[in-house]
Structure 1
Amino acid sequence: MKKIFLLLTFMLSFVQMRADEGMWLMMLVNRLKGQDLQKKGLKLTAEEIYSVNGSSLKDAIVQFGGGCTAEMVSKEGLLFTNHHCGYGQIAALSTPEKDHLTNGFWAMNKSQELPAKGLSVRFLVRMDDVSNRINALLNNQMSTKERRDIIDAEYKKIQNENSENGKYTVVVRDFYNGNEFYYFVYQDFKDVRLVGTPPNSIGKFGGDTDNWEWPRHTGDFAVFRVYSDVNGNPAEYSPNNVPMKPKHHLPVSIKPFTAGDFAMIVGYPGRTNRYMTSYGIDQLVNKDYPGWVDASRNAMDVMKKYMDRDQATKLNYASQYASVANYWKNRQGTIESVNKNGTIQDKQKVEEVFQKWAQKPENKDLYGNVLADMESYYKTTSARGVERNYASQMTRNAKYISYAVSLGSAFKTMMNETDAAKKAELKKTLSERINTMYEKFNPAMEQEMLKTMVGLYKSKVDGFVASPYFQHINADLLDDVAKHSIFANRNSAMNFLNNPDMQTLERDALYKLGTGYVEDQRKLNDKFSAEDDKFSNINRLYFDGLRKSHPKVEFYPDANSTMRITFGKISTLPFRDDRNYHGVTNNFYTDLDGTVAKYKKGDEEFDMPQKLIDLNAKRDYGQYADPAGYLPVNFLTDNDITGGNSGSPVLNGNGELIGLAFDGNSEALSGDIVFEEEWQKTIAVDSRYVLWVIDKFAGAGHLINEMTIVK
């Protein structure tokens, strides 16, 4: 039977807790009674998992680049993450002459490691619960604005109290739909360098075809190193920086494991909506996500057209294309999964129970109209939801819009500055910014992208919520709006910087298009602000009522890009008739034989290096072979993860690295909305395959020597 809620939290004993569903806050580990998970295979104490003063598991896990997870694997700052997490950095460091994305890259000593511009990693120092502090200042009679102002003011106080004059970054987040609050103290390291990456034909083997599918055969990993100043403090890139020494790094295990063995994952899951109502899910899968899928597909078609023509464009837009393609398939799969699994119907059953409780005399005043108000909100804002999805893909992919707005604003600031020295500094900063923005920019492709995405927005968005500026724009203008613009390319932007003129800027068609759209969005937000405020309050009350109507149930918090730990086991999926498992008879792993069996010479998704084929033919697996004789590649667990967990370590009971999480499976793509107990799996790349590629394929054995290998 499908679960909607996990029935017990960390505050209760593990004896009653299922070990698959839920992404748990690290600091709550010390409240646990661990007998049950210890029986399942956990050997670590609460202090070894989360400690403020001592070395613990949390100190080896970092948020990578803001959207992924990575783990420290040596005392010299070496880290593992997914290839797709480092994809943008690898592409940015590539040129047609030195194509690291296609051919791979391995630094044979530290001097060869490549600085990854703009990349940072974030370590969690500590966290704490401030729910009582903030909730003591709030009540249900307050307006949403009053409530928000009080919360924001308290957030600022908490940040100031814990930042130690800027040494740390302090983030305060609400949990349980605004009913609880925690703060997180982080330390950010900004000198991160690429150490090694397999070629695309290993790191992205299977491409979009295999994405979100099992069986997988992908070496989805990359290796970076974090640097600090000589005192171990975060520092901007400098050749004088030294490898940072983490408080803890993960031993890497090459021991065999099998289905049923204990597994846990620590990382930074991005966003789940497990407590979304049936009304919200209906809007999502029948209105919002179809818009996202449609807009993404159009953007991908434009990019692919130009990427196929030119290798430089292919490298420059590889990361953007991969990201759009990933979410395109995810959103489409979510629609199919929700419909197939009956998710909306399951939510309606939960709401029936809630409504019976809410209609009791003692509950009716506060909770009686919550579900009716929720339904009304989604009806009122339905068209707005569709607009948001087309708009998000338009602004994400049509760079001319954001370039015109952001650079135009910066040009105005510079022209309005009266102090000569400040004006010169602004000009210098703008020059650097322009060079960066246009460094890997294809004007012809961006012009077609602008025309395509604005045209799609005009044709698909209801006029009631559409940008009036876009709705009434002359279609012919979109054919060449950028060609004669200040923002057309690097040269035109630099020419304007050197000869700025306010009237020229304000007459620029692309600038008027961008600023017109931004102003329309502001008005649209104002138009719906009252409804959005009302929803915020309804959503908070709904979750508050859920907890009160189930007094013996403790609900886990939705993911919100804060560090979480999830417990589970190595797990299998039923075999499917429409899949080829290439001889694997126990469906929790894949091996290198299966990888080679998928080989298609010259195919963009299934080509592979000849050296990989030769090593497999010779069975040259070294110490990384399973005792059964195969080289493991990917495996499955039943851990609960989502986007943001990419690159997260999969750990055995001793806290040793056995793999890197990198994907989920198509059968449970509704997982951000509801945990599918029977189907939801994590797909990971086996640490033995990672080490084999580094050692045997790449010949970078010096990196193996740097790690703590557990045999």
Structure 2
Amino acid sequence: MKRIFLLLTFMMSFLQLKADEGMWLLTMIKRLNGVDMQKEGLKLTAEEIYSVNNSSLKDAIVQFGGGCTAEMVSKEGLLFTNHHCGYGNIAALSTPEKDHLTNGFWAMKKSEELPSKGLSVRFLVRMDDVTKRINVKLNNAMTAAERKTVIDAEYKAIQTENSDNGKYSVVVRDFFNGNEFYYFVYQDYKDVRLVGTPPNSLGKFGGDTDNWEWPRHTADFSVFRVYADANGNPAEYAATNVPMKPKHSLPISLKGYKPGDFTMIVGFPGRTNRFQTSFGIEQMVDKDYPAWVEASKVAMDVMKKYMDKDQATKLKYASQYASVANYWKNRQGTIDAVEKNMTVDGKRALEAEYLKWALLPENVEIYGGVLEDIKANYVQISDRNVERNYASQLQRNAKYIGVAYQLGGLLKSYADQDEAGRIAMKSKITDGIDRMYDGFNNKLEGEMLNSMVNLYQQRVKKGVASPTLMGVQAMNLSNVAFSSIFASKESVMNFVNNPDRLKIDADPLMKMANGFINDQKLMAEKYEKVDEAFAKNNRIFLDGLRKSQPNKDFYPDANSTMRLTYGSIDTLPVRTDRNYYGIKRKNNYYTDINGMVAKYKKGDEEFDLPLDFLELVRKKDFGQYTDKKGFMPVNFLSTNDITGGNSGSPIMDGSGNLLGLAFDGNSEALSGDIIFDPKLQRTINVDIRMVLWIIDKYGKAGHLISEMTLVK
């Protein structure tokens, strides 16, 4: 009986929209049926949130570095994002002598701010719905190639119409598995500079142990500034650039919050699969994610072995390791949460309801057999998908593969040139070499190549495996790499100075890399028709699912476009396996600085704290940043619906004042990319008062606070 009740509860969570569920496009706010955000606590109008002609909330939110979100907090281009979002840039700006990642960094004047090479931020200028324009030219009788030709032509035309001769970047995205289309006009700023960061011991306090777990106690933030040319336009880095002046910057609230208070988050969530079928979820948690988890752990172990030996290696591989570790824990947590939360059973119940509608005489021809077709698709691609997971982690972590493949073609062309041609190519090649070998640890990469190929050979079925990888002696590959032209920066430069076409053609590492990549292309071609059928079936299924529930407002899956999610401050059920450090059950929506100090372990990589930080806490030197109840806040919970890409997003009150920065979800609901669980799914946020206190009192950078608008 309990099982039946759980299934019914799960199914109803699909059939009836929960107030906190949904990552909504900003243009959808005006037309949401049955959802009154004003009643929940929103005090802004739709125009104040999204406007094309006037400044609005959207103008303060940026996509940071392509994979995170940030928000403008001053009229001088200052922005906040998460520490883990700025992590790679902070590491790249660090050396053993000036280790900003370990020791922190604060620019005391603008001339001390550090240019972050390759970092950019993206502002949304406007967006629009072009569904009718594109769909009128499409039909289900088209082949995939015919459909693609039509869509590509429309995409190109829309981009040309809206780019203003290259001033803007224009992106067209499909939604609801290809049933709707929107375009987005962006302006990209490429001069972004590091202004401040807490030391790693604060910004990453709790490490992998606390990642995805509540209660959290971490100062997960960093500070950057966006620069523009003298006219306020985007420009490459130049010493003459000036701080940009955003159309809107967020006021910062020092008022605090309590359970039930309205919250909203605007950001760039990366990817969800809320309309994934039960067959897809089974494939994912039974086969795909276990492969990802295992391959990630092998890669992490190799990196950590060498990072622990050398600080320079630790800094250069810090961002890669952190990213792999984050997804490793996320994927394993998702497997556990799907099983515990009976996600597959719930999806089956939803599909049974859908079938009642699909099998009606008026619907059966188009929609009646689509679920069975999707099931058959998964049978066909199951082993191939497992191979993809092992292969993707191999390509991501074994850098020798990418180096040999990417540089190999360039060096071949270079060797074929006459002297004038080589002179013309040389700067491009040397720039690529400098980039690819920056922080490259030969011994680490040799062992990584051995380990990842060995794992691939053991786990991937021969029918879908790369013949090239299956035909090599995995544990000898480091020797192959070390004898290659691509063994090191020095050996590649030696070739550049003494090019030999016969030598590059015979290079065994390049042969292996080229063979592997070619095998991947051939495998994609082999499964092209299956993948086309799969995409079509998913598009038709989702079209039918929406039509079967005409009274429900559907929100599209996340796809790295700007979204708004709203909710409230709320608690989580207390777990017996977690220490709550004095926080009472009714207050299980925030953590305070005393709990952070209680976790302190001197010398521990995850739970150490700076001595000067501990001294400030001992003195209770918290200034204006304490809560009115008397505690110094660190992190807090809300019911907002977010996913990867939302990291660094502003969490705001109903007036659009900044309360904190979203940085994580909770392990109880790691199935959240597939199904939103209103009872368990939470966003973990760093309190803005903790951010300001560290900037002001710990970093002694109070001049930054003076740029901001504080709401008391």
- TM-based fold match above 0.5: yes
Specify which of 10, 16, 23 is matched with residue 2 of structure 1: 10
Matched, 1:74 2:85: no
**Residue of structure 1 equivalent to 2:5:** none
The aligned runs of 1:193-342 (5 Å cut-off) are 193-342=193-342
**Residue of structure 1 equivalent to 2:409:** 409
**Residue of structure 1 equivalent to 2:186:** 186
Matched, 1:99 2:99: yes
**Residue of structure 2 equivalent to 1:122:** 122
Structure 1 position 563, deviation (Å): 0.2
**Residue of structure 1 equivalent to 2:626:** 625
Counterparts in 2 of 1:33 and 1:255: CA distance versus 1, 3 Å: farther
**Residue of structure 2 equivalent to 1:635:** 636
**Residue of structure 2 equivalent to 1:434:** 433
SS in 1 for 2:217: coil
The aligned runs of 1:136-147 (5 Å cut-off) are 136-147=136-147
Counterparts in 2 of 1:34 and 1:240: CA distance versus 1, 3 Å: farther
The aligned runs of 1:561-580 (5 Å cut-off) are 561-580=560-579
SS in 1 for 2:294: helix
**Residue of structure 1 equivalent to 2:87:** 87
| 8 A contact 1:144–1:536 mirrored in 2 | no
Alignment-mate amino acid for residue 427 of structure 1: K
| 8 A contact 1:590–1:635 mirrored in 2 | yes
**Residue of structure 2 equivalent to 1:424:** 423
How many residues in Structure 1 have an aligned counterpart in Structure 2? 702
**Residue of structure 1 equivalent to 2:541:** 542
The aligned runs of 1:447-526 (5 Å cut-off) are 447-475=446-474, 477-526=476-525
Partner Cα distance (1:417, 1:235) in 2 = 34
Matched, 1:57 2:65: no
Partner Cα distance (1:135, 1:33) in 2 = 24
Partner Cα distance (1:206, 1:102) in 2 = 15
**Residue of structure 2 equivalent to 1:353:** 353
SS in 2 for 1:96: coil
Structure 1 position 422, deviation (Å): 5.2
SS in 1 for 2:127: strand
Partner Cα distance (1:526, 1:4) in 2 = 41
SS in 2 for 1:361: coil
The aligned runs of 1:383-402 (5 Å cut-off) are 383-402=383-402
Alignment-mate amino acid for residue 77 of structure 2: G
Counterparts in 2 of 1:4 and 1:664: CA distance versus 1, 3 Å: farther
Partner Cα distance (1:564, 1:82) in 2 = 18
| 8 A contact 2:416–2:501 mirrored in 1 | no
Alignment-mate amino acid for residue 579 of structure 1: R
SS in 2 for 1:69: strand
SS in 1 for 2:224: strand
SS in 2 for 1:165: coil
Structure 1 position 170, deviation (Å): 0.3
Structure 1 position 459, deviation (Å): 0.7
Partner Cα distance (2:62, 2:514) in 1 = 38
Partner Cα distance (1:590, 1:577) in 2 = 17
Partner Cα distance (2:674, 2:339) in 1 = 12
Alignment-mate amino acid for residue 702 of structure 1: H
Partner Cα distance (1:484, 1:67) in 2 = 36
Superimposed CA distance per residue, residues 407-441 of structure 1 (whole angstroms, 9 cap, x where no aligned partner): 011112333456x6554232111112211221211
Alignment-mate amino acid for residue 76 of structure 1: E
Structure 1 position 476, deviation (Å): 5.3
| 8 A contact 1:23–1:565 mirrored in 2 | yes
**Residue of structure 2 equivalent to 1:30:** 30
Partner Cα distance (2:209, 2:573) in 1 = 20
| 8 A contact 2:32–2:553 mirrored in 1 | no
Partner Cα distance (1:326, 1:580) in 2 = 22
**Residue of structure 2 equivalent to 1:14:** none
Question: Which stretch shifts more, 267-276 or 40-49?
Answer: 40-49
| 8 A contact 2:162–2:185 mirrored in 1 | yes
Structure 1 position 709, deviation (Å): 0.9
Question: Which stretch shifts more, 28-37 or 215-224?
Answer: 28-37
**Residue of structure 1 equivalent to 2:550:** 551
Partner Cα distance (1:330, 1:248) in 2 = 34
| 8 A contact 1:162–1:170 mirrored in 2 | yes
| 8 A contact 2:18–2:678 mirrored in 1 | no
Alignment-mate amino acid for residue 622 of structure 2: Y
**Residue of structure 2 equivalent to 1:694:** 695
Partner Cα distance (2:649, 2:12) in 1 = 25
Alignment-mate amino acid for residue 548 of structure 2: S
Matched, 1:651 2:652: yes
Counterparts in 2 of 1:35 and 1:148: CA distance versus 1, 3 Å: closer
| TM-score after normalising by structure 2 | 0.97
Structure 1: gaps spanning 5 or more residues: 9-16
Matched, 1:683 2:691: no
SS in 2 for 1:188: strand
**Residue of structure 1 equivalent to 2:704:** 703
Matched, 1:177 2:177: yes
Partner Cα distance (2:619, 2:506) in 1 = 68
Superimposed CA distance per residue, residues 108-144 of structure 1 (whole angstroms, 9 cap, x where no aligned partner): 0000000000000000000000000000000111111
Q: What percent identity do the matched residue pairs reach?
A: 65
SS in 2 for 1:565: strand
Question: Which stretch shifts more, 531-540 or 39-48?
Answer: 39-48
| 8 A contact 1:2–1:678 mirrored in 2 | no
Partner Cα distance (1:73, 1:366) in 2 = 51
Superimposed CA distance per residue, residues 245-298 of structure 1 (whole angstroms, 9 cap, x where no aligned partner): 000000111112111100000000000000000000000000000000000000
**Residue of structure 2 equivalent to 1:614:** 615
Alignment-mate amino acid for residue 367 of structure 1: Y
| 8 A contact 2:126–2:184 mirrored in 1 | yes
Question: Which stretch shifts more, 424-433 or 376-385?
Answer: 424-433
**Residue of structure 2 equivalent to 1:109:** 109
| 8 A contact 1:7–1:554 mirrored in 2 | no
Alignment-mate amino acid for residue 346 of structure 1: G
Partner Cα distance (2:525, 2:313) in 1 = 39
| 8 A contact 1:69–1:267 mirrored in 2 | yes
SS in 2 for 1:137: coil
Partner Cα distance (1:309, 1:3) in 2 = 52
Q: Give the superposed CA RMSD.
A: 1.3
Question: Which stretch shifts more, 19-28 or 602-611?
Answer: 19-28
Alignment-mate amino acid for residue 449 of structure 1: M
SS in 1 for 2:362: helix
Alignment-mate amino acid for residue 701 of structure 1: G
Superimposed CA distance per residue, residues 163-205 of structure 1 (whole angstroms, 9 cap, x where no aligned partner): 1111100000000010000000000000000000000010000
| 8 A contact 2:11–2:347 mirrored in 1 | no
Partner Cα distance (1:128, 1:3) in 2 = 33
Alignment-mate amino acid for residue 326 of structure 2: N
Question: Which stretch shifts more, 592-601 or 431-440?
Answer: 431-440
SS in 1 for 2:450: helix
Question: Which stretch shifts more, 259-268 or 21-30?
Answer: 21-30
| 8 A contact 2:228–2:243 mirrored in 1 | yes
Alignment-mate amino acid for residue 536 of structure 1: A
| 8 A contact 2:95–2:315 mirrored in 1 | yes
Counterparts in 2 of 1:191 and 1:595: CA distance versus 1, 3 Å: same
Matched, 1:21 2:21: yes
SS in 1 for 2:527: helix
Alignment-mate amino acid for residue 703 of structure 1: L
Superimposed CA distance per residue, residues 501-526 of structure 1 (whole angstroms, 9 cap, x where no aligned partner): 22211110110010000110011001
| 8 A contact 1:68–1:85 mirrored in 2 | yes
Alignment-mate amino acid for residue 589 of structure 2: F
| 8 A contact 1:6–1:22 mirrored in 2 | no
| 8 A contact 1:82–1:647 mirrored in 2 | yes
Matched, 1:595 2:596: yes
**Residue of structure 2 equivalent to 1:11:** none
**Residue of structure 1 equivalent to 2:6:** none
Partner Cα distance (2:475, 2:595) in 1 = 52
Partner Cα distance (1:410, 1:435) in 2 = 14
Structure 1 position 477, deviation (Å): 3.5
| 8 A contact 1:5–1:555 mirrored in 2 | no
Question: Which stretch shifts more, 468-477 or 636-645?
Answer: 468-477
| 8 A contact 2:256–2:659 mirrored in 1 | no
